[in-house]
Structure 1
């Protein structure tokens, strides 16, 4: 069995290769080949569907519960603020720069190293399955959600996203609404008491000021933000419609359907939800996986950002090296020591969880 030191060195080498290989959402074929090569070099059989790759621990036992390890290898497009080549893995002063280094390449290679460390170990309390998923950034149809049917029943999961190796025990869901506010088209020179843009001001004010009753202990209140507005094509014509886009971050006290119903009751507009499946997710704060992290000094919190947790039906924990504030920023980077410490902590947390007595595995 390889040592964590060796696996860490190999993981950082892989991360550099991933950075240097463009992998925008739905275009991850080449990084999928790099991940497949990791499994081949470590003599680990794997499966692939589209650009998702997954593998099971050597001593997989159908009578045992299963823990999923997951992170993604797609990236967003680099923004215009980059001063460095986003596809050059530049290492300076302990920082490894490059697109996807922090979100979520560092998490992915750390989980690959951790899975490989445990791959041949016997007498674990849980099976392990690792999934390197595609299309996370775009919530696309060919991501993690597309292969869940091919996996065994999942009892709990660790989703690798940058959390500074703290324990994100809950995550807000996402509901995006296309809202159409109607009115009466007319010439701008005439009085029009039914201008849809003015009508939209009332709708926007409601989204800005409405407060949902239920506040989550971990995730806080539901947050609604109007992010786009579009109406009209000519200066002298009042349009018949004003279009809004609303981003709603849903806490674990509500379902997406419940939020949609409340919004529909309060505003005078036509509402089209883009999807309803990106749900809030959480794990019991007393879950043995969380307890294992807390014994190592890790703190718990609620995350406002969305990840592949949203498509999982089992309890899930967001955990990984890196800092979420660096994600999608220009000249993205991750510290080398964050990966080193991340692998060490992943191994310690899983050791505490996977080597527990079988009578304590019900959580």
Structure 2
């Protein structure tokens, strides 16, 4: 038997206990929990075959009461002794996509981001379209191209607007969108909307999410039906899923909604999350997007997603949309940071607006923990490869 060392001040202590899927020595992927700089093999430590699966989905499908019970068991277990062969150094494991993604929807929940984009593309009109403050706007993405952190991103090709006719080729305005993603643990049948106050019984946890975006392909295709090929080539998520149960101390009031949402979007106690993201471009920090500034809450997004009768499924993933704050250094997309390329950033001594081949982007985040420290989400990392 052994004890797991948890360094003082670790953002992966007992306040956190994020779940992931890992493998060792070419073995089968299985579910683990990160504790400090170690990974605890749950199938071995708890003696439960649900954790021997190569995805979190079977465990998540067991429901809220089971999530609570396992978290209580783990909190006690990791501070005592565990089997020697159940503990692995983080550096010795391979991390995999933690969930089997059922459906993927991406929202557009930041008023600051939506307003900036409106000013960029509609400078002579109101920044926000008439529907924006009445419903969480979103688009349906492609679940098959959700990738785990560390997976390289191949530059997409597609049609781009040109004069006199469009041209086809690699995107020249490749961008990021720093977001939080929310993972549905237990779904619903058709025609069973999820009320905002029932959010916690359906959403298992949160991940970091990078919605890679080819702005030139997107600009040509998105009228009248919205994003398609400019988004569907890749979406990256962190390898660790922070349980919603670990984020109770991070709840904060929403910044304020005016006009009042329609009844199906109203919460008894509207809340957001005090999560601070950090965006690094080729190793240099360029932005600190604050999730607490988001206009629409995670619960409202899920309520809107299901209000028309659409079912929710275990493994559904939905993104918050780009997280941006009121200050320039809080913008979560390079489109905003460079103001469409008109105000380039200096990155490693070079003037930059959009991603070049070989560039690497790393997004990290922390939130308040229950004991007064910070808990972390790990990272979502991606490097750009040339178009094929």
Higher helix share: 1
Into which bin does the TM-score normalised by the smaller protein fall?
Answer: under 0.3
Higher strand share: 2
| Greater RCO, CA 8 A, separation 6+ | 1
TM-score, structure 1 normalization: 0.23
Greater CA radius of gyration, 1 or 2?
Answer: 1
TM-score, structure 2 normalization: 0.22
